[in-house]
Structure 1
């Protein structure tokens, strides 16, 4: 699966399913492969940042620049693994791990107040003031038992976001 071709073998599909913990059906993987091939305009087997930005829904996402850090240069197997957090079959743990990676901009396994503030800034834009953002974030942290100086690790995110009703799903259209 180094470079893209028009079809996947049964072995390829099963390998990708295994890699993404069976969060997608074989039919969904085949559909995702077709989409991957459309995005991989140069046919090199990898999707570059500019190719992701060609998707209008992605380009207008307020977190697109953060996501690009995670996406740039993905091959098909990595592309499906990235999307697996959005599958209805993904576990709550997988979803929280994904959210943590979005916040952990330095990829050091720790999220600071400033990291969270930057995401909040990306999400709210000019709709609320910097002071309001800081107040909201401080209050949320305090309610969860943390403060502005806390360095959050993945287990903290699990504690805070461990709500089984957390919804983060995308339906994969199947032809």
Structure 2
């Protein structure tokens, strides 16, 4: 499975399904494998930063650099696991855990005020001033019982999001 020039076996498909908690059907995994092979232009068995950014929707995403950091060097199995949060069958908890990883850029299990502020800056660009972003973030944290000096662990992050439904889905075309 590491070599993209080989075909997926039934065992490979089932192994990937198990690895991603059956969030993708067998047909979806085959389609994802075909897309992975297209992205892995050199047939190395993993996706480089340039290959990852060849997907226009990702290249244009204001969080592309953070996503790139999470996705660079993924083999096929990990590529599918990365995409699990975007499955229509993923739970709110799975989506929240993925978003937490986007904010936790140093992977220390903690999201600080400045981590959130950086993401807000990436998302809002010039539409908001730094002062406005800081004011909004301070208020959201305050309403959730946290201060600017607090850091958020995953359970804290879930609390701040307040169990909101997260709409982040990518449809996997089946050939």
Q: TM-score, normalised by structure 2?
A: 0.97
SS at match of 1:125: helix
Q: Is the 8 A contact 2:13 2:29 kept in 1?
A: yes
Q: Is the 8 A contact 1:63 1:123 kept in 2?
A: yes
Q: Which runs of structure 2 are paired with 1:10-89 in the superposition (5 Å)?
A: 10-89=10-89
Structure 1 spans left out of the alignment, 5+ residues? none
SS at match of 2:97: helix
Q: Is the 8 A contact 2:23 2:87 kept in 1?
A: yes
Q: Distance in 1 between matches of 2:153 and 2:135?
A: 22
Q: TM-score, normalised by structure 1?
A: 0.97
Q: Is the 8 A contact 1:92 1:162 kept in 2?
A: no
Q: Is the 8 A contact 1:117 1:134 kept in 2?
A: yes
Map of 1:99 onto structure 2 = 99
1:117-143 deviation per Cα after TM superposition (whole angstroms, max 9, x unaligned): 000000011111110010011111111
Q: Following TM superposition, by how much is the alpha carbon of 1:168 offset from its aligned partner in structure 2, in angstroms?
A: 1.7
For the aligned residues, what is the CA RMSD?
1.0
Q: Distance in 1 between matches of 2:18 and 2:31?
A: 17
Q: Following TM superposition, by how much is the alpha carbon of 1:148 offset from its aligned partner in structure 2, in angstroms?
A: 0.3
Q: How many residues align?
A: 175
Q: Following TM superposition, by how much is the alpha carbon of 1:20 offset from its aligned partner in structure 2, in angstroms?
A: 0.4
1:143 aligns with 2:143: yes
Map of 1:3 onto structure 2 = 3
Q: Following TM superposition, by how much is the alpha carbon of 1:161 offset from its aligned partner in structure 2, in angstroms?
A: 2.4
Q: Following TM superposition, by how much is the alpha carbon of 1:144 offset from its aligned partner in structure 2, in angstroms?
A: 1.1
**Deviating more after overlay: 91-100 vs 153-162:** 153-162
